[in-house]
Copies of this chain bind each other. A is one copy, B any other.
């Protein structure tokens, strides 16, 4: 029994078309890399509207068509958040090509790898990132044209071949373009995620997934945005499409403020002060810079109601600083590149109404509840579902229409099990579906069949007044398979012993979680984003406890 409803595909172009018709006057404010004659004497701020950007996206689509770009072709960007990048989002995907947003923070060899793996045909690049491309241009010869995101007055000297000026490219194009209709499951955006090992892996978002994700993210308890909202996404447009905010904002007519290259506290504050956004989005590092800057200059957030934090968990102190110092609510959101990215959001809920600040902060520290569309479960190593009791912790598996089912041109299906995506996280889920990440799967310690969170142990241990930093890894154990080992850096001049640390921990953790030993080290390895890099430590200390026991037996 078929339904009788219209077969309208969910296409990204329908979002910009809706914005153009329904929210033509909504502002888009951008900080640029170049110097222009901006409003109020500002030389790096561009003010436009959704109508103007919609028109320019159509001109861009005409230009690309005229230059022979076809549906499915990959068009890359190396660009900050700006109205031009916004136009690329819609112009490229709208005509049926695929927009590949490249993270400029990748290493040169990773840049080369993904540009060649994606077979990018054109590259649109902000002035800031020209040196990156100039350095690798001989290894990315598949790129036919490089478009500089600038006006003619700001075109740079460059050694790059086949360079075009963005404003010249679109200037004389027709401003009408009929967005083509096609299958909603075609690819629209491509984004690579770089793990700690191996080559970056691509996620090819479809039109359908992009539209559904945007619809879900506008919901009241997700981003909760509408035509009166003003959003400042500090999260970059090269990072999972700025968490989908350009789509969500266009869908509902929310004003967008794009920070361009100005990611420091002072630059962000300047935009907050002048544009009065009510919602900010970004990683904790950025908010720490903003909070510190505001403290220095004695300013407070006025317009901002909510600050969405993703990428990594915000410390409790940040939740508190926003609340007590700025009357702003920190919303934890959790997701992954593989998830478009939004999985869970921890917006203000009914449950928080009756809580003390302390209780509420503790709940806010969790990753939140899934938005409609995202299903999740936790399983043990045999794949058996574990209870949603807030205590059991297991491998977090997710499913949903905006979650990838495979990596782009990659046969490895090891993260995809029976239709679920294995997130690589270990988590608890409580009876109200609040997700709490406990550890990464590869870092969790499996002691006699029971699991111990390395992160919980680190957080407990680092409270010791004599310790600078802690790292807990699982190492081989004859009886329990694995046991926790604590590696710690002492504070300068501190003379603390392993025994005193164990004593300190004894009333903070259950007894069987107690690390079998404490090793003092001078330094600990980190990833580029500041996370502990445990893989080499695990190798180095793999047999530490076994050897120690053997030594003890010998002596």
Residue ranges of A at the interface with B (Cβ–Cβ < 8 Å): 1-8, 10, 14-15, 17-18, 21-25, 71-72, 98, 185-188, 203-209, 212, 215-216, 218-221, 224-229, 251-253, 340, 347-350, 353, 369-370, 372-373, 375, 388, 399-408, 419, 421, 431-433
Chain A at the B interface: mostly helix, strand, loop or mixed? loop
- A418 CB to nearest chain B CB (Å): 12
On chain B, the residues within 8 Å of A4 by CB distance are 187, 203-204, 206, 404-408
Q: Complex: how many Å from CA A209 to CA B388?
A: 31
Q: Complex: how many Å from CA A25 to CA B187?
A: 39
Q: Complex: how many Å from CA A229 to CA B219?
A: 13
Contact of A401 among B10, B18, B185, B402 (CB under 8 A): B10
Contact of A5 among B1, B209, B253, B372 (CB under 8 A): B209
On chain B, the residues within 8 Å of A431 by CB distance are 24
In the complex the two chains form, is B24's CB within 8 Å of A227's CB? no
- A511 CB to nearest chain B CB (Å): 34
In the complex the two chains form, is B226's CB within 8 Å of A221's CB? yes
In the complex the two chains form, is B5's CB within 8 Å of A402's CB? yes
Contact of A432 among B18, B25, B224 (CB under 8 A): B25
- A525 CB to nearest chain B CB (Å): 33
In the complex the two chains form, is B185's CB within 8 Å of A2's CB? yes
Q: Complex: how many Å from CA A180 to CA B228?
A: 40
Given A3-B208, A432-B24, is A220 in contact with B225 using a C-beta cutoff of 8 Å? yes
In the complex the two chains form, is B206's CB within 8 Å of A419's CB? no
Contact of A15 among B252, B372, B404, B419 (CB under 8 A): B372
Q: Complex: how many Å from CA A349 to CA B96?
A: 33
In the complex the two chains form, is A405's CB within 8 Å of B226's CB? no
Q: Which of A98, A186, A220, A401 has the most CB of B within 10 A?
A: A220
On chain B, the residues within 8 Å of A252 by CB distance are 219-221, 372
Given A22-B433, A215-B215, A432-B24, is A400 in contact with B8 using a C-beta cutoff of 8 Å? yes
On chain B, the residues within 8 Å of A17 by CB distance are 375
Instruction: List 16 interface pairs A-B (beta carbons < 8 Å), by A numbering.
Output: A1-B204, A2-B204, A2-B206, A3-B206, A4-B407, A5-B185, A5-B209, A5-B401, A5-B404, A6-B405, A18-B373, A22-B369, A215-B219, A218-B219, A220-B226, A220-B252
